[in-house]
Amino acid sequence: MAAASVTLPCASSSSASSSSAAASSSLFSRSCSLGHRRFVSYDSRSRAHAPNSVKCDLAEPFKNVNGKPIVPILNERTLPKFLETARMEKTVNRTSTRLKLFSGTANPALSQEIAWYMGLELGKINIKRFADGEIYVQLQESVRGCDVYLIQPTCPPANENLMELLIMIDACRRASAKTITAVIPYFGYARADRKTQGRESIAAKLVANLITEAGANRVLACDLHSGQSMGYFDIPVDHVYAQPVILDYLASKTISSQDLVVVSPDVGGVARARAFAKKLSDAPLAIVDKRRHGHNVAEVMNLIGDVKGKVAVMMDDMIDTAGTIAKGAALLHEEGAREVYACCTHAVFSPPAIERLSSGLFQEVIITNTIPIAEKNYFPQLTVLSVANLLGETIWRVHDDCSVSSIFQ
């Protein structure tokens, strides 16, 4: 059969350099200063795709040194003290470590950033699509006795990327890897976590079973749609949150803490919004009450809380078609909100999300790069933050048998 071959490039090791002053803001003027634990900040040198649009990506193309691609240092700054480790002060000798990173084809840019933070190279892997759509995976280096980390979000096309992850896991298991950790920045099918009507499937549990049976020993996931999804796995799950990354960016804004209000776009996200508000100088909380009449169709009914004259920050785990958050923003403006910011971890952006988000309802739409954003989906209000340092630090802590939860304390 004819095959289209995709061989992923390797990110070479690099070290942090130079220092920069931490941004201060009245957002954290009360009890919630994150000065000692600042995470991944936005890239001020990032390439703009539209006015005020920011993409946290590699600032320039790869350069070749002796035939090997190298990744430029991002931001020309050192990492925050909280995330700096002894590993960043010296180049890791790849031949002396049993930790190996491999990337699928879903989000190779994020994988390269993670590898840069960790001072490692991405492992060599060959992934092909046959003419009939079947997926072929071959590891091009030995992983016998190694701790392998496979970075692959199950973002759209969800079924393709999920199947690719399963085959990658199987390839590592058959190559005698010591442990296999599936690093899933975005866990697809997470919304199908319960039965809301009779005769429905619980696809989140099914996908968890598939990953476990394929041979994964551990899962590292970012901002699962619901916490109970961790219980669907029969293997350990490390659940990390992108909240500190977004908080770090909001801290650079010149917004008075007295003017802030955090808004949950639905009742189901109240716990997430409350935790976010507590970090934002214990800001007040408002809730949008909506009634859903069908999948991807939402209707706003009422607003619980006061937003008049305030800067509203809407927090959710994902934006799909943007129906919920757009109707919520319209209601906030009707109730007198001065500005509305939308924050989420996973930017699924199914049509017509871009039209809704760029319609002028939002002062800024802040997302992370757990899901790659197509060039055509950039609009002036969009800001993309990187979770690479957060995931890279988590991988190191898992590998070293250190605490992961202490990152968020």
Burial tier of 67 (Cβ tally within 10 Å: 0-12, 13-18, 19+): exposed
Q: DSSP letter string over 219-265?
A: EEEES-SSGGGGGG-SS-EEEE-SHHHHHHHHTTS---GGGEEEEES
Q: What's the DSSP call for residue 377? A: G
pLDDT of amino acid 353: 96
List CB contacts of 257: < 8 A, sequence separation 6 or more: 26, 27, 28, 29, 30, 280, 281, 283
Taking the CA atoms of the chain, what radius of gyration do you get in angstroms?
A: 21
Cα–Cα distance, 11 to 123 (Å, whole number): 9
pLDDT of amino acid 10: 45
In the chain, % helix, strand, coil (3-state, to 5) comes to: 30, 25, 45
Residue 125 sits at φ, ψ, to 5 deg, of -145, 140
Q: What is the mean pLDDT of each run of 10 residues along the chain (409 residues)?
A: 51 40 37 35 38 40 41 40 45 59 97 96 97 97 97 97 98 98 97 92 97 98 91 95 93 88 92 92 91 64 92 96 93 96 97 96 97 94 96 95 89
pLDDT of amino acid 165: 98
158-174 and 203-214 helices cross at what angle (nearest 10)? 20
How far from chain centre, in Å, is Cα 197?
30
Residue 63 sits at φ, ψ, to 5 deg, of -110, 145
pLDDT of amino acid 166: 98
Q: Sign of dihedral through CA atoms 342, 348, 353, 354?
A: positive
